[in-house]
Amino acid sequence: MQHVKVLAILSVLFLTFSGFWSGESNDTLKKERRVESQKILQLLYKYAPESKKMIRSSYGYATFSNLGVNLIILSAEGGTGLAHNNKTGKNTYMNMGSGGIGFGLGVKDFRAIFIFSDKEVYDNFIENGWEANAQADAAAKAGNKGGALNGAITVAPGIRLYKLTQNGLAIQATIQGTKYWKDGDLNK
C-alpha cells in the first residue's frame, strides 16, 4: 500500500508540473497554447456543432489539454490551457491540476472546454478557478478508433463544460478536487 501512495504522489507531481518547465521562451509557449486552443475548438465543433454558436455568443471560454492517471484508489490530472475573453480579445494563460479518490484504473488524454455566460462567472474562474466534482466515465480510444462517453454538463450557474477524450484506456468513478490557476510566467 505504501508503494501505491508514493506512486500516486509522484504521478500528481508529474502531471501537475510536466510541460510547465520546458525551457522554451514565454512567447513560444503562448503561441503553442493559442494554436492548441484553436485545435481543441475545432475538435469540439466536430463533435458538438451547436457549441460553435454558444462560444461565439458567450462572454468567454477556456480550453485545456489534460492528461489523467487513475491508480486503483487515487487519481491525478494535469494540464495547460488558456481562457479567452470574447469581449476584450484578451487571453489568460492557465494551468490545472487535480487529485481524487475513488475507483479507477488507466490513463487518458482529454480536452476540457469551459463556456462562460457572463463577466462574473468568467472573472471568478480566472481569479479562483476551483472545480470540485464527482465523475464517472469510461474511455477506450486510440486516435479515431474506440469510444468514450463525452458530453456537456453545467458545472455551475453560467458555466458549461465539455470533456473530449483523445486517447486512453481508463475506467473511473472518483471524487476529485481540481484547481485551475493563472500561469504566473506567461501572464506577465
Angstrom CA distances, 71 to 5, 74, 78, 174, 185, stand at 9, 5, 15, 11, 31
Residue 125 C-alpha from the chain's centroid: 13
pLDDT of residue 44: 92
Per the CB < 8 A criterion, the answer to whether 135 and 174 are in contact is: yes
Residue 121 C-alpha from the chain's centroid: 17
Q: Which helix (H) or strand (E) holds 135?
A: strand 130-142
- For residues 34 and 151, the model is more confident at 34
Domains of the chain: which residue ranges?
A: 2-182
**Average pLDDT estimate for 104-131:** 87
Distance CA 163, CA 96 (A): 14
pLDDT of residue 123: 97
First-to-final CA distance of the chain: 43
For 19-59, how does the pLDDT look when each residue is reduced to its tens digit (9 = 90+)?
Answer: 445 578 999 999 999 999 999 999 999 988 999 999 999 99
pTM over 0.85: no
